[in-house]
Structure 1
């Protein structure tokens, strides 16, 4: 069968194992069902996720112009501590920023390579952790806006990583760390404004199981710009990556806005 459309990050369903779906405009496929099979991926073109024009993708699925104008990719996305909607101050579009920033956010610890700290909207639990390829994750605090989550993350970045080592994550080279024990160490490290939101008794530890037949010892990344046609046997999915038998890994989220043809 053949599928064609614009890549967006895979939709996921929390389960044992996690279910993955590639969703196109008029079709979708359950990626789990492709594991153990040969698939071909061909690059067809670009389509900006914001304006819909067939323009070269710059970052995060957006063309250059949209990346520097759309409220959906303001600096506060990557740096929550820069959020200003709680002050009524706009970055690019106050209405959009109020909608996203002024809602419950979680600061968490996740185990995807080593222990990392991160921020996500409450509505994105556990999706955010699945997208990062975390084997385990636990919430530290739940705060009412993105700014408070951001200053908490900044304080904890002095003690924990804030990025995932994607190579270690994909080879499943994960440290054995007790996240609940780590949470016990954190209360005195978080800002005074956030202390009231720390609930020591809440230890909802999430465990993630990914559909992987075998983890590779080493990985090599597939870039559709450099390799517009690829074929291989799919052996697993973790995070937002497809894992192939020849050690090739393909970052679906990193290729958002690319138009592809997939044959299975």
Structure 2
């Protein structure tokens, strides 16, 4: 089987286990179906996800020029507390920012490597949790805009982490914490403006990944340094492909890379 195209983050479908898809312009691959098969990845060129030009990828699948100009790469993406659309203040494109920022957002707790707090648009539940490799997650606040979610996350970060240790997540050496207990413990620290939106009692979501074997230690595949790679696929977790030789490949971290894939 041969595939070719620009990498974008894998699309996912909730199930037991989660289903993963690599989607190219003219084709798609259900990655679960090639578990235990050998995959060859060849970097052919770059293709910025915005302008489409063959320029080195800077961040988030964009070339440097696009990254600093387009509205979908504004600082408020990574730091929701910087959102200003609710004040009618533009960062790069107010119409775009209103569309994304002025919709329901969720502040959640997730167990991936350790317990962490995070923010996502309501429409991105449970996709966001899957992309982080969380094996369980729970919603704690649902607010009407991104700014309120951002200031809630900032307040809670003083009491709990906000980062996933991707190495621990991929080796499945996870610290299991009780999410409901943590939700109640963190409730007093939610900012006043967001307090009315606290979710009192909802169940946690459990997520199961298609992994035949977890690596003992991980070595990361970087296509800039290793443009040609071949390995037997042993699992998919988060946005990572896990190979038999302990190599892991972050598909989302390689967005904008145009590759050839052959599977045998």
Q: Give me the TM-score of the superposition, normalised by structure 1.
A: 0.99
Report the alpha carbon displacement of residue 199 of structure 1 after superposing the two structures with TM. 2.3
Unaligned segments of structure 2, at least 5 residues = none
In structure 2, C-alpha distance between the alignment counterparts of 1:217 and 1:75, rounded to whole Å: 36
RMSD of equivalent CA atoms: 0.5
Question: Within the alignment, does 1:229 sit opposite 2:228 as a pair?
Answer: yes
2:34 equivalent in structure 1? 34
SS in 2 for 1:192: coil
Question: Within the alignment, does 1:254 sit opposite 2:253 as a pair?
Answer: yes
| Pairs within 5 Å for 1:165-176 | 165-176=165-176
In structure 2, C-alpha distance between the alignment counterparts of 1:239 and 1:32, rounded to whole Å: 13
In structure 2, C-alpha distance between the alignment counterparts of 1:43 and 1:35, rounded to whole Å: 21
SS in 1 for 2:194: helix
SS in 1 for 2:86: helix
Unaligned segments of structure 1, at least 5 residues = none
SS in 1 for 2:176: coil
Aligned length, in residue pairs: 263
Report the alpha carbon displacement of residue 179 of structure 1 after superposing the two structures with TM. 0.5
Report the alpha carbon displacement of residue 14 of structure 1 after superposing the two structures with TM. 0.4
| Pairs within 5 Å for 1:1-264 | 1-201=1-201, 203-264=202-263
Q: Give me the TM-score of the superposition, normalised by structure 2.
A: 0.99
Deviations 1:184-242 (A, max 9, x none): 111101001111001212x2311010000011110000000000100000000000000
In structure 2, C-alpha distance between the alignment counterparts of 1:206 and 1:51, rounded to whole Å: 37
Deviations 1:89-114 (A, max 9, x none): 00000000000000000000000011
SS in 2 for 1:149: helix
